[in-house]
């Protein structure tokens, strides 16, 4: 009995709340639709509420029975399911027995079903919320028609418009570049120099306080060859050399028995003879000419430069031609000079020229006077360019390729540097001897190579102190065979 009382109490409360909501609903709808401004709102009686309540209960009961009958019918009739095979590794994606409702898009049926359900929900909610408001219901119907039209148009475009084909880039086949034969042109070095089949070790020396101080600094570290800058390498223009500087330098070389072919000045890092910028190219050529003339006055035979770079603003061929034209121009401006311009191999970083031996070979081929052109091999640059100098096989292939493409008659100097980077890293990162990827055993093979005799073999390792250079030279001497080191 207690439970029955509770149930009846809850039922009465629900009927009371429903009657209040209906009372409020009919009053508001009457105020919105049937009322004219200035007239009173018609009053809804309790008998009308009871009649409306009973009719709504009957309608809800009828709707619930209809829904139950529809659900039972759908359960009895099984749905048609389109079976899709899983994509295998060998066969492409394909549907089996597609129905008429499906389009070329594999996800179209799923998308259409989702859009239909969303549309039904939105229309149902709009119908419930906007019952009696004719204008808004018409707007919603028009929007629904437009959305259905756009959906059909997109499905048609998906099925009719073909997919763009994949563009496969052309495979660029490397060109076999011509090699320089050894009989092409005379030897770049002076034939009057006496060779002793020795190893001439040295380092890049400071010339602070005067060029003649470079000889003293070289002697202090136990060097038999050396490199230097003949002017400030960070400035385009420097003051001319005085005659006294030239005389003191030559006197110091003669006093310490330094042969001219064992001194290797390095060109300014500002130069770029491969540039297509007219201003940079003009400055580079003027600097190249100035430093060659300084070497001529000092009695030095070799002058080492980095070939240059296209900087990504021109082709490799244009940069090579610009470099060779610059060398030819300097040769024309210095007739009768014995100074050879020495090209250094690079590490293939960015757009630099000289990382491949064929780059240097093409420059030499385009230079008219082969007696004034040479090559300097840098061990760090070679390893970074992809030549594995740490192994016996890699070092042998490095020497074989140089002989085949350029020829050892053009080799006039070596830069000894270990490399911080791995083989083929394309990074110019010098390291102390034995502290990099070439290692002690790699330098043992390099220092004992017969091809590196009677030419300047110069350290360009990171400068720590003069004493550190001295210790590195002693280390290399300990790796060399007895009787091969020049005292």
373 within 8 A of 340, measured Cβ to Cβ: yes
C-alpha span between 199 and 478 (Å, rounded): 12
Q: Which residues are catalytic, by number?
A: 234, 266, 269, 306, 344, 378, 381, 415, 428, 430, 460
Q: What's the CATH architecture for 200-229+242-479?
A: Alpha-Beta Barrel (3.20)
pLDDT recorded at residue 440: 96
pLDDT at residue 196 in the model: 72
Backbone phi, then psi, for 305, in 5-degree steps?
-135, 155
**pTM for this entry:** 0.62
Residue 426 near residue 391 (C-beta atoms within 8 A): no
| Residue position matching structure tokens 């060859």 | 225
**pLDDT value, residue 109:** 44
Residue-level pLDDT at 183: 43
**Could you tell me which residues come within 8 angstroms of residue 64 by beta carbon, excluding any fewer than 6 positions away?**
none
pLDDT along the chain (487 residues), means of 10: 67 66 55 46 56 61 54 49 41 41 41 48 46 51 62 51 39 35 43 68 92 94 95 89 94 92 95 95 96 96 96 93 98 96 96 96 97 97 96 96 97 97 94 96 95 96 92 95 66
Domain spans in the chain, listed from the N-terminal domain onward: 200-229+242-479
């Amino acid at each position: 009995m207690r439970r029955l009382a509770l149930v009846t109490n809850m039922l009465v409360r629900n009927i009371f709340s429903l009657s209040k909501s209906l009372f409020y609903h009919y009053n508001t709808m009457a105020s919105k639709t049937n009322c004219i401004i200035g007239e009173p709102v018609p009053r809804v009686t309790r008998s009308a509420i009871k009649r409306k309540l009973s009719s709504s209960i009957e309608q809800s009961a009828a709707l619930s029975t209809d829904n139950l009958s529809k659900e039972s019918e759908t359960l009895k009739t099984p749905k048609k399911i389109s079976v899709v095979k899983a994509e295998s590794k060998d066969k492409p994606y394909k549907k089996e027995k597609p129905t008429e409702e499906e389009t070329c898009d594999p996800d179209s049926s799923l998308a259409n079903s989702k859009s239909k359900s969303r549309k039904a929900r939105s229309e149902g909610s709009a119908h419930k919320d906007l019952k009696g408001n004719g204008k808004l219901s018409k707007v919603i119907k028009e929007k629904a028609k437009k959305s259905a039209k756009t959906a059909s148009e997109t499905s048609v475009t998906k099925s009719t418009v073909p997919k763009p084909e994949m563009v496969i880039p052309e495979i660029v086949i490397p060109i076999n570049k011509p090699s320089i034969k050894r009989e092409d042109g005379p030897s770049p070095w002076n034939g009057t120099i006496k060779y002793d089949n020795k190893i001439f070790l040295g380092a890049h020396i400071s010339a602070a306080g005067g060029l003649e101080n470079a000889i003293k600094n070289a002697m202090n570290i136990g060097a038999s060859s050396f490199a230097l800058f003949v002017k400030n390498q960070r400035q385009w223009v420097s003051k001319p050399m005085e005659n006294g500087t030239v005389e003191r330098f030559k006197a110091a070389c003669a006093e310490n028995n330094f042969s001219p072919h064992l001194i290797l000045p390095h060109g300014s890092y500002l130069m770029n003879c491969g540039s297509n910028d007219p201003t940079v190219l003009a400055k580079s050529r003027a600097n190249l000419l100035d430093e060659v003339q300084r070497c001529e006055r000092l009695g030095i035979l070799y002058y080492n430069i980095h070939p240059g770079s296209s900087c990504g603003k021109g082709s490799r061929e244009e940069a090579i031609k610009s470099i060779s034209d610059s060398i030819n121009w300097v040769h024309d401006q210095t007739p009768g000079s014995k100074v050879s311009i020495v090209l250094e191999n690079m590490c293939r970083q960015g757009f630099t020229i000289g990382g491949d031996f064929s780059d240097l070979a093409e420059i030499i081929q385009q230079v008219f006077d082969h007696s004034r052109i040479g090559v300097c091999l840098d061990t760090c640059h070679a390893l970074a360019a992809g030549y594995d100098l740490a192994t016996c096989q890699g070092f042998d292939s490095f020497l074989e390729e140089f002989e085949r493409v350029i020829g050892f008659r053009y080799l006039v100097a070596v830069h000894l540097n270990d490399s911080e980077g791995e083989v083929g890293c394309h990074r110019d990162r010098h390291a102390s001897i034995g502290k990099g990827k070439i290692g002690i055993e790699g330098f043992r093979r390099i220092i004992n190579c017969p091809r590196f005799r009677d030419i300047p073999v110069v350290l360009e390792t990171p400068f720590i102190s003069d004493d550190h250079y001295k210790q590195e030279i002693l280390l290399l001497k300990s790796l060399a065979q007895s009787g091969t080191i020049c005292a």
